[in-house]
Amino acid sequence: MAIDCLVLGAGQEVGKSCMVVSINGKRIMFDCGMHMGYTDSRRYPDFSLISKTGDFDNALTCVIVTHFHLDHIGALPYFTEVCGYKGPIYMTYPTKALAPLMLEDYRKNMDRRGEDEQFTSDHIAECMKKVIPVNLKQTVQVDKDLQIRAYYAGHVIGAAMFYAKVGDAAMVYTGDYNMTPDRHLGAAQIDRLQLDLLITESTYATTIRDSRYGREREFLKAVHNCVAAGGKVLIPTFALGRAQELCILLEDYWERMNLKVPIYFSAGLTIQANMYYKMLINWTSQKIKETYATHNAFDFKNVRNFDRSLINAPGPCVLFATPGMIVGGFSLKVFMQWAPSENNLVTLPGYCVAGTIGHKLMSGKLTKIDLDKDTQINVRCQIHQLSFSPHTDAKGIMDLVKFLSPKHAILVHGEKPKMATLKERIQSELGIQCYCPANNETVTIPSTHYVKADASGTFIRSCLNPNFKFSTCSSTDKSYLDSNKSKAVSRLSVSDDRATEGILVVEKGKKAKVIHQDEFLHMLGEKKHEIQFAYCFPMHMARTEDLSSTSHMLCSFDKCTLISRLSMILSDELSEGNILDLGEELQVESFRVSVCSSDNCPHRLSSSLQNGSESVFFCCHWSVADEKLAWKIISIMKNSTL
């Protein structure tokens, strides 16, 4: 009856996303990432917290990976091949296809850095064999009780938010997502779901971004100016994601401006990655999908493979080189050659980790970079920083939380102070209980549970008919009263009491049953006993009217005038209820009032008898449901004159 969330990574930080959630006896690991900032044991989540004995197969029902970024998948080969997890692993088709490229690229880089190898190429291949690919919105029955489903998340190709349901409890883990479409991907999309828990990323917990159009134009202008002046443009990127997005942008611009300057991809993974992108076109944005038959957007016309001999070739060009952030490898090699010329341009797309050359270039104007003791690079080239990110901003996070309206929310994958701000906003603006746990902490929240009962046909049928009650309640909310700011907010409220006509009957040894109240008495074999209230009292008459002294002989026409006059008074004074004028009778919900002409009306209390010449008797009756309303009307009637 509770959901336990053990945060193994990305708690109050960005990196090594890993969350283990236990719902109704099932245990799911969402993401299995590594931390790029560490080289020791802190780079992996602390798997020993899942199972002391290392028996992960029994400790976990399944592993779900949201997308192919290393901080979400980097620890997976280690977990399956070294730690020995053999259970099912789920990810989307593109993630399964592209993850090995990312892992392999990382592994190679790691070799170069001379660190001890944590997993091998074979490990990656073996690990990927265990992965079960899923399509978007495909409802996967992991076992008898656990159901999972992927929803489009934008961010990178194949990124997904995952919905998991066990019994009556349900939750969503978003992974990274983007609520606005970019050049090649659509915006995140999800159904309105009944959720107990939402676990969302919060990278940009407090940032609100403007449109990306302006920033794209800025980028294209910078590139164009550089190549027009005969310069070379270096764009250091990682193989997947950003490279394709920028390439579509450039390709499109090249076509429009009829530019002939070559665009090169360094002989890394990018050309190979384009092959995958072409087959996975269904996972991109609508615009790109529509044109696949005539022209596949990832069939780049102006893009060529880069040969090392071209580094010092004359003439302008644009080069995408791996790895990003200029951490080393080929992009560094090219940078060393091109940086000394002021004609050239280096464009840094996205975030650069502290300590990399990319980070140094971003942090300010500098003319020299010391690579190591012996090498120094003169930096005279222009530096352009791209600021579009595939993460949602604060507004997007709030929109998603509001749209899903979960009972509880957990923030991960963000910076601690910003997360605290967002948490406050979610709690105060949306009234949703929110948590941002640190690594290795566990959050426990209650989960929904249902009891089952059989419902009778009469009850179901009566529930099919709407039974709306409209009332304008001049709000005397307690909160206002407390703060002594008794605002009279008049708003229309709609209530529908269909369900309250049902009665739940539990008998020993039998299944609980819901029946309609009309059936209930029949079941008991009893007769209904109706309790009503009645009151017959005089109301003051204005003297202006020349009414005959024999008021008890009022003709029906006069009764109607009196009733309609009363109706006018009530509609002025009464803020709620629906007043029905039925000729000789007035009806407000169950409250009925009519002119009483009988002197010995049983509903008259003798003491209230007054001089009858200036007043007329009204007989009222009502049932208990409208008690408050009835007394309100009576007091209005007593205090006014007809």
Residues belonging to the active site = 201
Contact between 48 and other proteins (CB under 8 A)?
no
Instruction: Judge residue 488's burial from the number of C-beta atoms within 10 Å of its C-beta, 0-12 exposed, 13-18 middle, 19 or more buried.
Output: exposed
Phi, then psi, of 151 in degrees rounded to 5: -125, 150
Instruction: Tell me whether residue 363 or residue 598 sits nearer to other proteins (CB atom).
Output: 598
Q: Considering only residues 571-610, where is the footprint of other proteins by CB under 8 A? A: 602-608
Q: 87 CB contacts (<8 Å, ≥6 apart)?
A: 56, 57, 60, 61, 62, 63
Instruction: Tell me whether residue 512 or residue 580 sits nearer to other proteins (CB atom).
Output: 512
Q: Which residues pair with 592 in a beta bridge?
A: 587, 621
Residue 275 CB, nearest approach to other proteins (Å): 5
Contact between 282 and other proteins (CB under 8 A)?
yes
Instruction: Tell me whether residue 97 or residue 223 sits nearer to other proteins (CB atom).
Output: 97
Instruction: Tell me whether residue 476 or residue 613 sits nearer to other proteins (CB atom).
Output: 476
- What torsion do the CA atoms of 36, 37, 39, 40 make, to the nearest 10 degrees? -110
Residues 324/236, Cβ–Cβ less than 8 Å: yes
Q: Kindly state the number of chain residues that form the binding site for other proteins, as judged by CB under 8 A.
A: 84
Q: Considering only residues 429-488, where is the footprint of other proteins by CB under 8 A? A: 448-457, 460, 463, 478
Residues 167/449, Cβ–Cβ less than 8 Å: yes
Q: Considering only residues 520-549, where is the footprint of other proteins by CB under 8 A? A: 520-521, 524, 526-537
Contact between 503 and other proteins (CB under 8 A)?
yes
Residue 577 CB, nearest approach to other proteins (Å): 16
Residue 502 CB, nearest approach to other proteins (Å): 4
| Near other proteins by CB under 8 A: residue from 132, 228, 609, 624 | 624
Residues 176/193, Cβ–Cβ less than 8 Å: no
| Near other proteins by CB under 8 A: residue from 506, 542, 580, 609 | 506
Strand-pair category, 131-134 with 89-92:
parallel
Contact between 517 and other proteins (CB under 8 A)?
yes
For 362, half-sphere exposure in the C-beta direction (CA atoms, 13 angstrom radius) is: 18
Q: 71 CB contacts (<8 Å, ≥6 apart)?
A: 10, 14, 15, 16, 17, 33, 34, 35, 36
Instruction: Tell me whether residue 224 or residue 513 sits nearer to other proteins (CB atom).
Output: 513
Where b means 16+ CB within 10 Å and e means fewer, 600-632 reads eeeebeeeeeeeeeebbbbbbbbeeebeebbeb
| Near other proteins by CB under 8 A: residue from 275, 353, 489, 568 | 275
| Near other proteins by CB under 8 A: residue from 256, 485, 508, 550 | 508
Residue 504 CB, nearest approach to other proteins (Å): 5
Any long-range contacts for 122-125 (C-beta under 8 Å, 24+ apart)?
123/77, 123/78, 123/80, 123/81, 123/82, 124/77, 124/100, 125/100
Q: What is the total residue count of the chain?
A: 642
Tell me how far apart the alpha carbons of residues 620 and 434 are, in angstroms, rounded to a whole number.
52
| Near other proteins by CB under 8 A: residue from 102, 226, 281, 352 | 281
Stretch that binds other proteins, among 94-102, 153-161, 579-587, 610-618 (CB under 8 A): 94-102
Residue 500 CB, nearest approach to other proteins (Å): 6
Stretch that binds other proteins, among 10-18, 20-28, 132-140, 346-354 (CB under 8 A): 132-140
| Near other proteins by CB under 8 A: residue from 49, 82, 83, 136 | 136
| Near other proteins by CB under 8 A: residue from 119, 276, 320, 618 | 276
Q: Considering only residues 372-391, where is the footprint of other proteins by CB under 8 A? A: none
Residues 335/246, Cβ–Cβ less than 8 Å: no
Contact between 290 and other proteins (CB under 8 A)?
no
Instruction: Tell me whether residue 256 or residue 478 sits nearer to other proteins (CB atom).
Output: 478
Contact between 57 and other proteins (CB under 8 A)?
no
Q: Considering only residues 173-212, where is the footprint of other proteins by CB under 8 A? A: 194
Q: Which residues pair with 235 in a beta bridge?
A: 320
Residues 249/184, Cβ–Cβ less than 8 Å: no
Tell me how far apart the alpha carbons of residues 127 and 302 are, in angstroms, rounded to a whole number.
36
Instruction: Tell me whether residue 279 or residue 568 sits nearer to other proteins (CB atom).
Output: 279
Q: What would the two tokens of residue 569 be?
A: 């008074």
Residue 121 CB, nearest approach to other proteins (Å): 14
| Near other proteins by CB under 8 A: residue from 48, 58, 120, 138 | 138
Helix 556-573 crosses helix 627-638 at what angle (to 10 degrees)?
Answer: 110
- What torsion do the CA atoms of 366, 370, 376, 379 make, to the nearest 10 degrees? -20
Instruction: Tell me whether residue 252 or residue 299 sits nearer to other proteins (CB atom).
Output: 299
Contact between 41 and other proteins (CB under 8 A)?
no
